[in-house]
């Protein structure tokens, strides 16, 4: 075992050169591991490991020339890397923004592992990850968290520092990992005088180089790095990874032709794949990227990681929060697209597990905004009631459906019914809408707008407007959710507290305070 470690530490230039068909290149000057490490999409036998070389992360191409670099990796059973069980050499290719994706196989199910990378004399920080339970296992519990929406300019990623300290099997990140708008020299409301960003960051991201730089900026954050290094993530995107409120090939700007927007989308999707721990089959082909997938956790849970942006019909009635929009109910309108919808409905209907988690972006519960009676948000499932009805009709037959949501920068606990206008009927599923990591700034516990929504929508059992995340524990028969909140994000170092706890029974869904 020590021998393996020795090989790693000593390095073997000849071996590396033989394994790497690219032109040999001098090692990068300076520590190239400024963006941390990550793991993701745990399977019983393996995980994806990620890093990206960028000795000068705020420069285009991270301060590296157009050359490929060999990067060695190790997976060990212990934090000190005394018991290395897998290792190898990957390539940080210039064509992929010097990102590294290692699809590790041959690990044992339901186990903690530690991993790290090395290039030349530089060794990355170590990450901890955990494989999924065996497919045939009958786990007693699954611990996970739900996080989303981390606009860098709105504050500090303190929530991630706290997430890193939680004991989790997996973290579901439900989109808006980056924001496409301008970042000022001192990082907006962070007002971080040490940041001194170049004015390239004042440009809205639309080309591949700008998206790569934006991911590099976010990934330099030490709290975000800590959360990635602590637990495997299962990620999906929402809109800001491309552009606010886009729908499939439609930009939010009506004057942008679809063909132009698809070039923009291709650049955004490429950078997303490069910068997240995703397997090679998820790689985009031009503007198309198959992101939806299922992760299994023994017989306890399947997690359907959904994509509600890429295939959706354009928002009804011109988007917005509207009353009386009949177009939303038109046949053929879809949030998931026909392929993803059929895959999901079939998966749910033939479920072999206790719980089905739908890790997705936008709020599924009907949410009436008040004011003009019956106003609904056309960007959410309320704008696509056909797809929602199909899922909830299936959930009514298959117990254990839990919808996990991001997007909206508020906490909600919601009961889901096949007919939201009949509060006397039993819920068929529950939804946990997790607040943002930073987006929206410091926030408030009690938000009048949300309280008004609760009056118009009695199935919304809880609302809160602070920043944070949702921590969950699934056992054989019960879901427990802790809404974890922060008092502020525009200053670093906020403590975290549990604002509310809800439980729901698999056999009798419905959120009640614990």
Partner 1 sequence: MRVTAALLCALLPALPAPGPVHLTVSPQSLPVTTGPCNARNLSVRLANTSTTPVYADAELTAPDALHLQRTLVSTWLPAGWTSAVPVRVSAATGTPPGDYRIRVSSGDQHTDVPVTVTAPPPTAGLTTRAAEVTAASFRATNPICAAADGDPATFWTDGTNRVWPDWFQLDWHTSVTVSRAEVRTPAEGGLRDWDVQVWTGAWQTVASVRGNTATTRTSTFPPHQVKALRLLTLAGNGVGDMSRLAEFTVS
Binding site for partner 1 (CB under 8 A): 60-61, 66, 95, 153, 180-182, 184, 188-189, 199-200, 202-204, 207-210, 212, 259, 262-263, 266-267, 270, 286-287
**Closer to partner 1 by Cβ: residue 180 or 382:** 180
Least separation in angstroms between CB 309 and partner 1: 18
**Closer to partner 1 by Cβ: residue 206 or 223:** 206
Q: Cβ distance 270 to 96 under 8 Å? A: no
**Closer to partner 1 by Cβ: residue 61 or 148:** 61
CA-nearest of 50, 182, 173 to 117 is: 50
SS3 at position 269: helix
Least separation in angstroms between CB 179 and partner 1: 10
Least separation in angstroms between CB 289 and partner 1: 12
**Closer to partner 1 by Cβ: residue 269 or 355:** 269
| H or E segment and range at residue 504 | strand 497-505
Least separation in angstroms between CB 108 and partner 1: 38
Least separation in angstroms between CB 94 and partner 1: 9
> How far is 155 from 436, CA to CA, in rounded Å?
11
**Which residue is it, tokens 């390239």?**
200
Rounded to 10 deg, the angle between the 258-275 and 208-219 helix axes is 40
> How far is 373 from 360, CA to CA, in rounded Å?
28
Least separation in angstroms between CB 203 and partner 1: 6
**Closer to partner 1 by Cβ: residue 200 or 478:** 200
**Closer to partner 1 by Cβ: residue 126 or 262:** 262
Least separation in angstroms between CB 476 and partner 1: 47
* Residue 10 neighbours by CB under 8 Å, 6+ apart: none
Neighbours of 95 (CB within 10 A): 10
Q: Which residues pair with 271 in a beta bridge?
A: none
Instruction: Spell out a b/e string for 321-337, using b for 16 or more CB atoms within 10 Å of the CB, else e.
Output: bbeebeebeeeebbbbb
**Closer to partner 1 by Cβ: residue 66 or 105:** 66
> How far is 439 from 176, CA to CA, in rounded Å?
9
Least separation in angstroms between CB 220 and partner 1: 19
Q: Cβ distance 385 to 328 under 8 Å? A: yes
**Closer to partner 1 by Cβ: residue 45 or 209:** 209
> How far is 239 from 182, CA to CA, in rounded Å?
16
Least separation in angstroms between CB 153 and partner 1: 7
**Closer to partner 1 by Cβ: residue 60 or 290:** 60
**Closer to partner 1 by Cβ: residue 109 or 443:** 443
Neighbours of 111 (CB within 10 A): 14
Q: Largest Cα–Cα distance in the chain?
A: 72
Least separation in angstroms between CB 449 and partner 1: 13
**Closer to partner 1 by Cβ: residue 210 or 395:** 210
Least separation in angstroms between CB 188 and partner 1: 7
Write the DSSP assignment of 98-160 as a string of letters.
TEEEEE--SPPTT-EEEEEEEETTEEPPPEEEEPPPPTT---SEEEEEEE----GGG---HHH
> How far is 316 from 377, CA to CA, in rounded Å?
10
Q: Which residues pair with 429 in a beta bridge?
A: 416
Least separation in angstroms between CB 475 and partner 1: 43
**Which residue is it, tokens 């019956």?**
374
**Closer to partner 1 by Cβ: residue 91 or 360:** 91
Neighbours of 513 (CB within 10 A): 10
Q: Cβ distance 298 to 138 under 8 Å? A: yes
SS3 at position 13: helix
> How far is 39 from 44, CA to CA, in rounded Å?
14
């Amino acid at each position: 075992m020590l021998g393996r470690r020795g090989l790693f530490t000593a390095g073997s230039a000849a071996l590396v050169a033989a394994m790497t068909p690219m032109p040999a290149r001098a090692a990068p000057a300076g520590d190239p591991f400024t963006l941390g490490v990550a793991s993701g999409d745990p399977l019983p036998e393996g995980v994806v490991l990620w890093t990206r070389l960028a000795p000068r992360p705020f420069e285009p191409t991270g301060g590296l020339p157009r050359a490929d670099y060999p990067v060695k990796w190790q997976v060990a059973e212990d934090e000190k890397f005394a018991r290395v069980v897998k290792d190898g050499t990957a390539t940080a290719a210039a064509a992929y923004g010097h990102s590294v994706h290692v699809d590790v196989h041959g690990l044992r199910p339901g186990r903690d592992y530690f991993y790290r990378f090395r290039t030349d004399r530089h060794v990355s920080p170590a990450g901890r990850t955990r494989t999924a339970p065996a497919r045939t296992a009958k786990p007693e519990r699954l611990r996970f968290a739900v996080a989303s929406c981390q606009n860098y300019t709105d504050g500090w990623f303190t929530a991630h520092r706290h997430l890193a300290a939680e004991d989790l099997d997996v973290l579901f990140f439900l989109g808006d990992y980056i924001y496409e708008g301008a970042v000022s020299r001192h990082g907006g409301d962070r007002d971080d005088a040490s940041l001194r960003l170049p004015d390239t960051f004042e440009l809205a991201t639309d080309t591949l180089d700008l998206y790569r730089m934006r991911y590099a900026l976010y990934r330099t954050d030490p709290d975000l790095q800590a959360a990635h290094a602590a637990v495997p993530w299962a990620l999906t995107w929402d809109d800001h990874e491309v552009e606010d409120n886009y729908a499939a090939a439609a930009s939010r700007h009506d004057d942008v032709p679809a063909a132009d927007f698809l070039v923009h989308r291709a650049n955004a999707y490429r950078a997303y794949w490069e910068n997240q721990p995703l397997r090679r089959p998820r790689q985009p082909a031009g503007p198309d990227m198959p992101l939806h997938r299922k992760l299994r956790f023994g017989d306890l849970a399947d997690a359907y990681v959904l994509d509600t942006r890429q295939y959706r019909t354009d928002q009804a009635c011109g988007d917005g929060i509207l009353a009386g929009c009949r177009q939303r109910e038109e046949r053929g309108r879809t949030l998931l697209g026909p392929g993803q919808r059929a895959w999901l409905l079939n998966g749910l209907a033939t479920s072999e597990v206790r719980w089905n988690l739908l890790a997705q972006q936008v709020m599924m519960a009907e949410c009436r905004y008040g004011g003009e009676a019956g106003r609904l948000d056309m960007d959410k499932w309320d704008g696509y009631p056909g797809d929602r009805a199909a899922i909830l009709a299936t959930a009514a037959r298959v117990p254990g459906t839990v919808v996990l949501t991001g997007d909206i920068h508020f906490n909600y606990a919601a009961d889901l019914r096949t007919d939201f206008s009949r509060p006397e009927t039993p819920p068929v599923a529950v939804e946990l809408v997790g607040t943002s990591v930073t987006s929206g700034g410091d926030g408030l516990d009690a938000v009048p707008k949300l309280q008004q929504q609760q009056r118009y929508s009695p199935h919304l059992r809880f609302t809160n407007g602070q920043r944070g995340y949702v921590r969950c524990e699934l056992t054989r028969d019960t879901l427990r959710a802790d809404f974890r909140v922060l008092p502020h994000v525009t200053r670093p170092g906020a403590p975290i507290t549990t604002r509310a706890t809800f439980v729901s029974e698999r056999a009798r869904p419905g959120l009640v305070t614990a």
